[in-house]
Every structure is written in C-alpha cells, then in structure tokens.
Amino acid sequence: MDQFVVSARKYRPATFDTVVGQEAVTETLKNAIRNKHLASAFLFTGPRGVGKTTCARILARTINCENLGPDLVACGQCAPCKTFEEGHSLNIFELDAASNNSVDNIRDLILQVSIAPQVGTKKVYIIDEVHMLSQAAFNAFLKTLEEPPSYAIFILATTEKHKILPTILSRCQVFDFRRIQLSDITRHLASIAQKEGIDAEPQALHVIAQKADGGLRDALSIFDQLVSFAGNRLTYQDVLKNLNVLDHEHFFTITDSIIQGDVAAALLEYNGILQKGFDGHLFVTGLASHFRDLLVSQDPRTLPLLEVSEELVTRYGAQAQSAPRELLIRGLDRLAQCDAQYKQSKEPRLLVELTLMQLCRLNAPATDSVASGAEKKSPDLSGPAAPAATPKPAGASPSLAAEPGPGAQAGYVPKRRILREQVSIKPTAPASAAPEARSLDTDEGPELPSAAKEVNTALLLRVWGEYALARKREGRNSLHATLAAREPLVVGPSAVSFSIVNEVQEKYMREEKPTLLSHLRRELDDPALQLDVVKEQVVVKPRYTKLDRFNLMAEKNPALLKLREELDLDLG
C-alpha cells in the first residue's frame, strides 16, 4: 500500500504565486528579492494554518537558488534546490522553538551562524513558534539578531505576536498574515478535489471553509477526513452529518415562524433540532448569525458582507424582504442576551424557548388585551351613519379615525389610528392631595391606552436586574447602585413602584426613567405599564449618649448607681 500523504503537505505551495490569500505579503517579498532589499530579520505573525512557515520556506529556497529567473521561481536543478527538496539543505535551518527554547539551544544556533555558507551565498534560519523562547533565550539572541553576518537571514514565525519582546520586534520587519477568506478557501478546495477526482458539491466545500475559520491547513485536514468517510462523492449532507453543523434549512424555517409570530411552530422546530443531538448554544449562535446575514441582505451596499454559498444568496434575499429590519435588530439583541446567559442558566432549554417566544412576539400584532381595550373605548364605526360632525374648537387636531384609507371595507377599524385617538394626559393633582412620599414626574410623553394586566413579579425582577447590570457594563456604576439598592414592587395591574431615599438617586432616576420605562414595557410586553418613583422620608433615630446608656443599664442593675456615688464617676 502506498504511503498516504495528507493534502496539507501534498499540495503545499512551492512558489509565491501559489500561496493562497496572502497577496500583500508575497508581493512585498518578491519585490524585496527583485530589488535586492532583503532585511536581515523577518517576523511572520498571524493565525494558525495561513501560510507563515510555507512563505518562510519559499523565501529561503528562492534566495538560495543559483539560477533564479525573472519570474522569481526556483529552478529546481541547482545544488541548493536539490538539497532543499531532499530535506538536507546546508544553507536552510529550521528550529522549533516550542521544544528548543532554552539558552543553550540559542547559543548553539549563534555558533552555527558564525560559520559561513559552504554552498551558495545565504544561510537562512527559520525559527517557528518563536514566542515559546524563554526570557533568557530572547536576551541571548538579541545581539546576533541586531548585527548578524552579511550572509545570515533570520525568519521568525509566531501565532502570538503579543508575547514577543518589543526589543525583538524592533529588529525585525513584521509581516501580518491575515485569515484566508471563505471564497479563497472554497476555490482552493475545489481545485484539489478536481485533481483528486472527487465530485464535491460547492455548498459542501463552503461549509468546510466556514468550519476552518480562516485556516487553510484546518480546511484541508477536514477535507481529508470527509473524503475518507464519503469516498469520491462529497455531498452537503455528508458534511453536515460529520461536522455537527446545523443545516441552514432549520434557520430559514424557524425565522419564517418568528416573522409570522407562530410560537408553536418555532418551539416544535427547536425541539426537532435538540432531538437530532445538537447543542442549544450552537443553535442560539447560529440563529444570531442567520439574523445578521438577513440584515446585511436588505441593503445592496452590505451584500459583500454576506459570506454564504451562491445557492443561498437568492434565498437570503427573498427572506430578507419579508423580515422587518426592527425585528432583526431587536432579535439580535435578544439572542445576544440569551448567548451571554446560556452557560450560567440552570434550565438552558427553557431559556432558549423563552427567547423564541419573545422573538415571535416582536413581530406579532397588537396583543388582544390592548386591542380589546381600544375597541371598547372607540366609537362603533361599523354601525349606522354617524351624525354630522360637530364644529371643533380652533386649534383642535382633525380626527384620524374618521378618515379611512381608500378601499377600506365596511366595519374596518384601523387599530393604529384608534390607539392614537385614545391618547390622554393626566391632569396635575393638586398639591394638597399629595401624600408624604413624593412621586417624581418625568416627561414620558402621552400615556398609552389603559389596558391594564397583571405584572409577572419574577419576570419584572429579572428584567430590572439585567437592565441594572447592563448599565454597570457601560461604566455607569452610580446608576447601577441606585437601581440595585432596592427591588421594584408591583402595586397593581400594570403598575410598578420603586423607592429612593436621597437627592442623588432622585437625579439619576429622573434622567433614566423614560428609557427604563420603555425597556420594561417592551420586555414585559405591557404597553400600559406605569412606573412610579417614590422618594421616602428617611427617619434618622437619635444616638444614645453615654448618660442614656448608663441609665438604661442602671434600670436593670441598681447597684451601678451606688457604685457611681462611691467612686465619684464622671460619665461625661
């Protein structure tokens, strides 16, 4: 049986032109070679599997080739090229700093540097994972790196640039390798599949590229694994089955349910996902990514941000047209909260199901309670013809409900207009009727229709606590302390009270109340909710003096009075 060679080694780039996704780096290195402006030290940094060590080897081979052509491709016939291909080059040395990170290893390297090349004109030293060198090894390496012999070139490679000493960085030309784009990885995988005689579906290759997260070596390793499973035909379903990836179909289906406000369908779809063995957290992050893709699909200017296969672009565009932008934005915010709370939750499934219910309610029509309350207060527009309108006082706004749009059917009541008709403003209560506890009046805008309903205390406390923590993360610690000092109280249907004790808290609550109230109405799904901020009168108890304490003790033990007289004690 022939020895199997993994694709990452078999198809490793041998020239600068075949390096995938790093055009800026390769063009700079080619120009440096062409103009003979090579530095003595390079630092290649970037994520794993993006071509750092590969570029270092290509650079070392190119500058050692004796018959280098104008295209800067090594000839492969000269002695340095042959010894490099055979793996025992006399001018190119590789050191793995992960296992050779001591001072003695660096001293041996420095000793080798002092010996001039026997073949060729340059000696190249490639040090991989250079961030693993110890502090003492770095210090021993500094002088040689700053003033190497004219024939020596150092190429350092690392995935963790922040661990490199600034004194090392200042002595190197730094090249930042970027994550390889999905389209580049997909094209490269397609070319390898063609060379290997494998029939691979484009969408399957796209999922592999997504799973690799910008690393070409990871993508090739996944590709080899899946080919071992599927043989000469690699399908989208094979990739989903082996990589534990949720099919896009699930997200399209559940998004349709959310747009329609169908809670039952959304919960059933999520239950089916769990029964297939997928993790709920994976579903939450996947749905958030799906919402994000829908959002960028709504504007032609952001379409380049959509990183999906060509087969899905049309489908994303179609669903994006039916998904309101406000639903997607608020849905992303709610999914982000669920993502942050998932690991700490004792009931993660219930948390996700609650999130799905809230997402379905975002795009649902007005609640039955609000609609019924508005209809009770509105005039019966579907009955007999109304009498002639009475004259309105000067300055009064025209009635919106009296002007149905064109094509309106008999009995049709435009809800939005009725809601606006019911707007009223409470009259200011006389000062004599004010209780001892003073309520803070803030400019909240017009009051919503009074469709009062019972407030869920547990949900109120959770939403209040999350809002307070969010303010703390924003750096508003004083506001967080004010909100967390006490718990809000449910004082009636659609009525919540919160107590404060001083002027500082009064100032914060006066400024924050409109935003807080809007947040509570939205999260509790109660447009008629009212928040009453009450300033309590704090009664400060007087302190006991020494004489008071002595008298209290003397009442229990009269002998203390006699003791005081005999010793002539002074309690002042």
CATH number at residue 332: 1.20.272.10
Beta carbons of 52 and 157 less than 8 angstroms apart: yes
Q: Is 78 inside any structural domain? A: yes
- The residue from 362, 378, 394 where one domain ends is 362
Same domain? 129 vs 264: no
Looking up residue 154, the CATH number of its domain turns out to be 3.40.50.300
Average pLDDT on 259-282 reads: 87
Same domain? 167 vs 200: no
Percent over 90 (pLDDT), the chain: 3
Same domain? 169 vs 29: yes
Same domain? 49 vs 161: yes
Q: What is the pLDDT of residues 324-348, one digit of tens each?
A: 888 889 899 989 999 988 888 888 8
Q: What is the pLDDT of residues 419-450, one digit of tens each?
A: 333 333 333 344 333 444 444 544 444 444 44
Of 181-195, 350-364, 398-412, 488-502, which range is least confident? 398-412
Whole-model pTM? 0.55
Q: Is 49 inside any structural domain? A: yes
| Res. 411: pLDDT tops 50 | no
3-state secondary structure 485-529: HCCCEEEECCEEEEEECCHHHHHHHHHHHHHHHHHHHHHCCCCCC
| CA 134 from centroid of its chain's CA atoms | 35
CA distance 92 to 503: 74
Question: What's residue 202's pLDDT?
Answer: 84
| Res. 284: pLDDT tops 50 | yes
The amino acid sitting at 197 is G
Token readout for 389 is 């309108």
Residue 34's CB: how many other CB atoms inside 10 A?
11
Percent over 70 (pLDDT), the chain: 82
CA distance 209 to 187: 10
User: What residues contact residue 222 under an 8 Å CB cut-off, 6+ apart?
Assistant: 208, 211, 212, 243
Average pLDDT on 439-463 reads: 66
Beta carbons of 168 and 142 less than 8 angstroms apart: yes
Question: What's residue 111's pLDDT?
Answer: 85
Q: Which domain holds residue 357?
A: 248-362
Q: Is 433 inside any structural domain? A: no
Same domain? 239 vs 253: no
Question: What's residue 376's pLDDT?
Answer: 42
Place of tokens 């340059």: 122
CA distance 192 to 7: 8
Token readout for 256 is 């349709």
Question: What's residue 538's pLDDT?
Answer: 56
Beta carbons of 461 and 486 less than 8 angstroms apart: no
CA distance 7 to 5: 6
Q: Is 367 inside any structural domain? A: no
Burial label for 271, CB within 10 Å (0-12, 13-18, 19+), is: exposed
Place of tokens 């899946």: 226
Q: What is the pLDDT of residues 52-71, one digit of tens each?
A: 888 998 888 888 888 877 88
Same domain? 136 vs 228: no
Q: What is the pLDDT of residues 379-393, one digit of tens each?
A: 444 444 444 444 444
Looking up residue 195, the CATH number of its domain turns out to be 1.10.8.60
For 488, what's the count of Cα atoms within 13 Å in the CB-facing half-sphere? 29
Q: Beta strands 92-96 and 199-200: pairing type?
A: unpaired
- Grouping H, G, I as helix, E, B as strand and the rest as coil, residue 271 is helix
- The residue from 329, 362, 395 where one domain ends is 362
Q: Is 165 inside any structural domain? A: yes
Of residues 26 and 538, more confidence is placed in 26
| Res. 154: pLDDT tops 50 | yes
Q: Is 485 inside any structural domain? A: yes
- The residue from 176, 206, 224 where one domain ends is 176
Work out how many domains the chain is built from and give that number: 5
Beta carbons of 148 and 40 less than 8 angstroms apart: yes
| Res. 487: pLDDT tops 70 | yes
CA distance 491 to 198: 70
Same domain? 52 vs 144: yes
Question: What's residue 541's pLDDT?
Answer: 58
Same domain? 213 vs 101: no
Question: What's residue 113's pLDDT?
Answer: 86
Same domain? 64 vs 171: yes
Question: What's residue 405's pLDDT?
Answer: 42
Same domain? 69 vs 153: yes
Task: Please give the mean pLDDT across all residues of the chain.
Answer: 78
Q: What is the pLDDT of residues 79-104, one digit of tens each?
A: 888 888 877 788 888 888 888 878 88
Q: What is the DSSP string of 147-216?
A: S--TTEEEEEEES-GGGS-HHHHTTSEEEEPPPPPHHHHHHHHHHHHHHHT-EE-HHHHHHHHHHHTT-H
H or E stretch including 531? strand 530-535
Q: Beta strands 495-500 and 489-492: pairing type?
A: antiparallel
Question: What's residue 380's pLDDT?
Answer: 44
Of 2-6, 146-150, 195-199, 530-534, which range is least confident? 2-6
Token readout for 73 is 């491709």
Beta carbons of 128 and 99 less than 8 angstroms apart: no
H or E stretch including 479? helix 477-485
pLDDT band at 539 (very low <50, low <70, confident <90, very high): low
Q: Is 385 inside any structural domain? A: no
Question: What's residue 363's pLDDT?
Answer: 74
| Res. 277: pLDDT tops 70 | yes
- Grouping H, G, I as helix, E, B as strand and the rest as coil, residue 43 is strand
pLDDT band at 2 (very low <50, low <70, confident <90, very high): low
Q: Is 372 inside any structural domain? A: no
pLDDT band at 364 (very low <50, low <70, confident <90, very high): low
Same domain? 15 vs 143: yes
Same domain? 20 vs 78: yes
